[in-house]
Amino acid sequence: MELIYEGTIKKENNHKRYEVRKLLLKDLTDILQVQEQVIHHLTDKGVLQPLTKEEFQYILKGNGLMIGAFVSEELVAFRALLAPPIDGEHLGRDFGIMESELSKVIYQEISNVLPAYRGNKLQQILATLIMKELNKQEWPYRYVCCTVAPFNIPSLKDKFAQGMEIAALKEKYGGQLRYIFVKELSLVDVSPWQEIQIIEMNDIESQQGFIAKGWRGFKMEEREGKQLVYYGSKCRS
């Protein structure tokens, strides 16, 4: 199998080599085991929307892309992109793109790292690698988007680090509140934010109000024990 990346990570004060490669159907059992372990260690199970076996199979059969990090042949982390079906729950509808553009959206799906290997920035590394792999494909995607639960701090930091922006905050998955992030893949936007508003993460109504006016969330920070989200407005062509 083609090697995508090699690196070194730390586990219990020991440094270990790891390799990243594309995941295939034969890796499905390992993928499910990693997800199960991650869910087991979550304090708040509601912050993660796990994928079913059938959903992983759908991706691995050519409807997206998955890569994984291996230490001594053990899968310790993975990341997935999904080419979604065009249906009523399509995230493109949540940030207002035209119907004809929905097929140009790909989702950043689930990202899991075994608890023993956290703190090595594997989530960010795999994010960079999977987007590079996507760019190698002849797929006509213009937007990448995803959902993240409020106060899922590692995932929120991951999305902001990639330059993704909050474009919606609403209930998804049967009533669970989610931020909807989006990034236009070909857009290099260096124009400054014209206005900035800092809002506490638990102030859902205020955030939704600014989003309704066309503002985007672009940064977060912790200050005096509170999680703050930065929203900005700018002229968009």
Instruction: List, in sequence order, every residue forming a beta bridge with 219; answer none if it has no partner.
Output: 230
Model confidence band, residue 46 (pLDDT cutoffs 50, 70, 90): low
For strands 143-148 and 176-184, give the pairing. antiparallel
Euclidean distance between CA atoms 118 and 175, whole angstroms: 29
Average pLDDT, the chain: 91
Mean pLDDT throughout 169-176? 90
DSSP assignment, residue 203? -
Model confidence band, residue 56 (pLDDT cutoffs 50, 70, 90): very high
14 pLDDT more than 90: no
Task: For residue 228, give the H/E element and its range.
Answer: strand 226-233
Residue 1 pLDDT? 64
Model confidence band, residue 12 (pLDDT cutoffs 50, 70, 90): confident
When mean pLDDT is compared across 61-75, 186-200, 217-231, the lowest value belongs to: 186-200
Residue 159 pLDDT? 93
For strands 143-148 and 165-172, give the pairing. unpaired
Instruction: Indicate the pTM of the whole model.
Output: 0.86
Task: For residue 32, give the H/E element and its range.
Answer: helix 28-40
Q: Name all domains of the chain by residue range, CATH numbers in brackets.
A: 3-139 (3.40.630.30), 190-237 (no CATH)
- CA of residue 105 relative to chain centroid, distance: 14
